[in-house]
Amino acid sequence: MPRRTRYLPVGMPAHVIQRGNNKQMCFASDEDIAAYANLLDEGARKYGVLIHGWVFMIHHVHLHMTPTQERAISRCMQ
């Protein structure tokens, strides 16, 4: 059974957390972080997400994002 769609209304800021599976490392180097940041920027531009702030940690990421379109954050994070 699929998970319910998250309700993220347009124009409302959201705190998004992305973690590694079983608390595994997400980033092994600064190059990994740079690649993630570039992909995040591309997705945000493509799907209409404003990124206000971020914290990249070894095991997880915190993002402060605001969608400008329906389902924008979900599409960006996929």
Q: What angle do CA 72, 10, 17 make, to 5 degrees?
A: 55
Q: How far apart are CA 19 and CA 52, in angstroms?
A: 19
Looking at 1-78, list the stretches that DSSP marks H as alpha helix, in order from N- to C-terminal side: 30-47, 72-77
pLDDT tens readout for residues 10-60: 999 999 999 988 889 999 999 999 999 999 999 999 999 999 999 999 999
Does domain 14-77 bear CATH number 3.40.50.2300?
A: no
Q: Is the pLDDT confidence value at 5 over 90?
A: no
Q: Tokens 């990994």 belong to which residue? A: 32
Check if the beta carbon of residue 18 is closer than 8 Å to that of residue 63. yes
pLDDT at 78 (0 to 100):
87
